[in-house]
């Protein structure tokens, strides 16, 4: 379960963590965007709703709260051009590094079949991980693995 692991990791660093959201809030998000959150992200948001506003970890990564998560065209329209990335509307930003040097997005759909993690903000997007769980595993092991090379 990624939610408790992330929350405990942050609390051990003295990071202020938002309390988890309700199942109703998750459902409202899914209905608003017509997507299905993968089980690992649901677990995370039910346990911890990201970091408090203005707070980041020692690697300068900030995980956002559910109400901050938006598709690329809404949150970062400069990165939504099809020549930069395909189907930007299905990529939802959920974390950033060093006040937006780059940001992390997860691909969401109504089927929830595949939810890769992509980093945007550079010259071209980079697919970093196959799932949110894979990102969290690497983050907890060695946060340097979250930085594109």
Q: Could you give the domains of the chain? A: 2-142 (3.40.1580.10)
**Model pTM?**
0.94
* Segments in the chain forming alpha helices (H): 2-12, 23-33, 39-47, 72-75, 132-141
Question: Tokens 């409202």 appear where?
Answer: 28
Q: Report the length, in residues, of the chain.
A: 149
- The arithmetic mean of pLDDT across residues 37-46, rounded, is 96
Mean pLDDT for all residues in the chain: 94
- The arithmetic mean of pLDDT across residues 4-30, rounded, is 97
Above 90 in pLDDT, residue 64?
yes
Question: Tokens 């408790």 appear where?
Answer: 4
Above 80 in pLDDT, residue 76?
yes
Above 70 in pLDDT, residue 36?
yes
Distance CA 39, CA 28 (A): 16
pLDDT of residue 112: 67
- The arithmetic mean of pLDDT across residues 7-22, rounded, is 96
pLDDT of residue 143: 87
Between residues 27 and 149, the one the model is more confident about: 27
Above 90 in pLDDT, residue 1?
no
- The arithmetic mean of pLDDT across residues 93-99, rounded, is 95
- The arithmetic mean of pLDDT across residues 63-77, rounded, is 97
């Amino acid at each position: 379960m990624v939610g408790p692991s992330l929350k405990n990791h942050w609390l051990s660093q003295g990071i202020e963590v938002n309390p988890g959201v309700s199942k109703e809030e998750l459902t409202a998000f899914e209905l608003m965007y017509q997507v299905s959150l993968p089980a690992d992200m649901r677990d995370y948001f039910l346990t911890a709703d990201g970091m408090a506003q203005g707070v980041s970890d020692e690697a300068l990564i900030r995980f956002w709260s559910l109400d901050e998560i938006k598709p690329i065209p809404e949150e970062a329209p400069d990165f939504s051009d099809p020549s930069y990335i395909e189907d930007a509307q299905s990529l939802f930003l959920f974390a950033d590094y060093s006040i937006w040097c780059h940001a992390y997005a997860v691909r969401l759909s109504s089927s929830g079949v595949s939810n890769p993690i992509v980093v945007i903000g550079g010259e071209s997007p980079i697919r970093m991980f196959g799932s949110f769980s894979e990102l969290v595993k690497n983050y907890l092991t060695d946060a340097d693995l979250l930085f594109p090379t």
